[in-house]
């Protein structure tokens, strides 16, 4: 019987923890990581990126920037920073899914595939695609926090809302998952028995 009394509390706690770690379900919502934009810039728009596709230059660059743990890395040119940031606005991007926006224009960037841990380069490819970026609110500004691959070369939908369209009224929603539904049902059953 004591277990039945603890279960509702445990269920509610699990539900709250699940929601705390959930991904924003729309762009430009408040972010839990206040350093996410700086991490994004460090990973995808660092200064000093090689201007050629020379394998040795890229291997040295990745080794010196200390990130041999990521097997696929995409790098944008630093001069594109303002355009990249604009993807998280209605002017530069439209909503894609969850907190992702897709750019209205194509971007040129370099994708490097390497051996995890060794920085040995498998391939270096210059690409031109629409960017898919996760956009969250940081310091009252909607900024990119994650670069999502676009292997199918998706393009923005003409019917999609602008990424940070003030008319959309997107607000954080409370999605009821199976765990949440189960928790609510068990609390109701528990309360009905007492």
What percent of the chain shows pLDDT beyond 90? 59
Tally Cβ neighbours within 10 Å of residue 127: 13
Per-residue pLDDT of 131-143, as tens digits, reads: 999 999 998 899 9
**Residues in a beta bridge with 125:** 111
Per-residue pLDDT of 83-121, as tens digits, reads: 999 999 999 999 999 999 999 999 999 999 999 888 899
Per-residue pLDDT of 22-52, as tens digits, reads: 567 889 998 777 899 999 999 999 999 999 9
Q: What does the radius of gyration of the chain's CA atoms come to, in whole angstroms?
A: 21
Tally Cβ neighbours within 10 Å of residue 132: 20
Among candidates 75, 72, 28, which has minimal Cα distance to 171?
28
pTM of the model: 0.75
Alpha carbon dihedral 83, 33, 61, 71, in 10-degree steps, equals: -100
The secondary structure of 133-166 as a DSSP string is: EEEEEETTEEEEEEEEP-TT-----TTSPBTT-T
């Amino acid at each position: 019987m004591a277990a039945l009394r603890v279960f509702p509390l445990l269920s509610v706690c699990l539900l709250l923890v699940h929601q705390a770690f959930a991904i924003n379900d729309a762009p430009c919502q408040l972010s839990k990581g206040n350093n996410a934009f700086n991490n994004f810039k460090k990973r995808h728009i660092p200064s000093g990126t090689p201007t050629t596709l020379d394998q040795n230059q890229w291997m040295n660059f990745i080794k010196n920037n200390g990130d041999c743990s990521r097997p696929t890395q995409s790098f944008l040119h630093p001069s594109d920073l303002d355009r990249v940031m604009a993807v998280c606005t209605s002017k530069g991007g439209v909503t894609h899914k969850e907190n992702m926006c897709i750019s209205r224009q194509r971007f040129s960037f370099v994708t490097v595939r390497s051996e995890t841990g060794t920085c040995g380069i498998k391939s270096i490819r210059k690409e031109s695609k629409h960017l898919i970026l996760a956009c969250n609110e940081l310091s009252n500004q909607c900024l990119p926090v994650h670069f999502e691959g676009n292997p199918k070369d998706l393009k923005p939908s003409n019917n999609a809302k602008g990424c940070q369209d003030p008319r959309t009224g997107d607000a954080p929603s409370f999605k009821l998952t199976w765990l949440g539904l189960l928790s609510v049902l068990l609390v109701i059953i528990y309360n009905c028995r007492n």
